Amino acid sequence: MQQFDYIRAVDLGDALQALGGGAKLLAGGTTLYDLMKLRIERPEQIVDINHLSELSYFDTSGDRELVFGALARMSDVAADPRLVRDYPAISESLWRAASQQLRNMASLGGNLLQRTRCPYFRGGEPYACNKRHPDSGCAAIEGLDRGQALLGASGACSAVYPGDLAAALVAFDAEVDVVGSQGARSIPVEELHREPGDTPHIETTLAPDEIIVRIRVPATPLGRGSTYLKVRDRESYAFALASAAVALVMDGEVVRDARIALGGLATRPWRVRAAERLLIGRRFDEDAARAAGEAALEGATPGRFNGFRIELGVRTVVDALTIARQRA
């Protein structure tokens, strides 16, 4: 790891000033230090925001929205009783991620901004990677693509966005509030992560000097009938091969409202409104769930070794809908 200067921010203004000078933000450090040790991130300065208490709170009691400071810890939020009862998809997306030790350290803001686990990206200099070095090529094209994206990939990059929380937030139309040198603004979480296109090194719509201060989730009856189902190589401490955040509101046997977002399959969190529309106004049964699952994976493009994840994705959506139906 290269030498760096450590700055402890005492307020947001401090953090913004350091960011403007090219520093990298440090929250839980569970991703940043990893990438620094791999020499993928090489900041000359890091600015520690852990003492900004205004970013550490969360409040799930509001009638209009749930509010999560960017520094709220994954484990604290996952265990919140109101979230567990009324928004199980959000709680499950957190406690099914990483390990208990990591969740104790890791923040929601840092979770949203984690980078891909593509092995050629993390493998470092022996491998060509457009994300690490623009226009240098992509080792995954001729490589092992079992874990690569089936949706949203480009000729330049097929790296999966690996986070679990973002899929659940996208399903509930959440927004992030950010501040930067140009002032404050809100960004729908669905618009926070970019598809790679020709510029896979530009991963989000955040400006380099912007800080996420909080995440807001509109209160909705969809929360009660929701789940986050994650399928992986082992049941703990692994990233998703396929995952689905789904939510249903039922009127008897008929679906009144539906949300479906995929994780682990695409280059960004992947909301699938076409699949939602197939369900709304229809009687919920096995055929309806299967049709929605197939619509959710519409356009999925297999490579050499990852084609099995299309049917896995369909079945993940079907199973998630079945769980949500029981809760709705």
Neighbouring CB atoms inside 10 A of 126's CB total 7
Scan residues 254-313 and list those touching ligand FAD (CB under 6 A): none
Which residue has 């401490």 as its token pair? 237
SS3 state at 274: helix
Instruction: Determine the interface stretch with ligand SF4 among 69-77, 133-141, 253-261, 286-294 (rule: CB under 6 A).
Output: 133-141
27 binds, among ligand FAD, ligand SF4, none (CB under 5 to 8 A by kind): ligand FAD
If one asks whether residue 159 binds ligand SF4 (CB under 6 A), the answer comes out as: yes
Three-state SS string over 171-189 comes to HCCCEEEEEECCEEEEEEH
Scan residues 186-245 and list those touching ligand SF4 (CB under 6 A): 200
Compute the distance between CA of residue 200 and CA of residue 140 in angstroms, rounded to an integer: 13
If one asks whether residue 264 binds ligand SF4 (CB under 6 A), the answer comes out as: no
If one asks whether residue 161 binds ligand SF4 (CB under 6 A), the answer comes out as: no
Neighbouring CB atoms inside 10 A of 87's CB total 25
Nearer to ligand FAD, 35 or 250 (CB): 35
If one asks whether residue 131 binds ligand SF4 (CB under 6 A), the answer comes out as: yes
158 binds, among ligand FAD, ligand SF4, none (CB under 5 to 8 A by kind): ligand SF4
If one asks whether residue 160 binds ligand SF4 (CB under 6 A), the answer comes out as: no
241 binds, among ligand FAD, ligand SF4, none (CB under 5 to 8 A by kind): none
Nearer to ligand FAD, 111 or 130 (CB): 111
- Decide if 205 contacts 175 (C-beta within 8 A): no
Neighbouring CB atoms inside 10 A of 125's CB total 10
Structure tokens at 165: 């929380």
Nearer to ligand SF4, 22 or 124 (CB): 124
- The DSSP line for 66-96 is EEEETT-BHHHHHT-HHHHHH-HHHHHHHHT
List contacts with ligand SF4 (CB under 6 A): 116, 118, 120-121, 129-131, 138-140, 157-159, 200
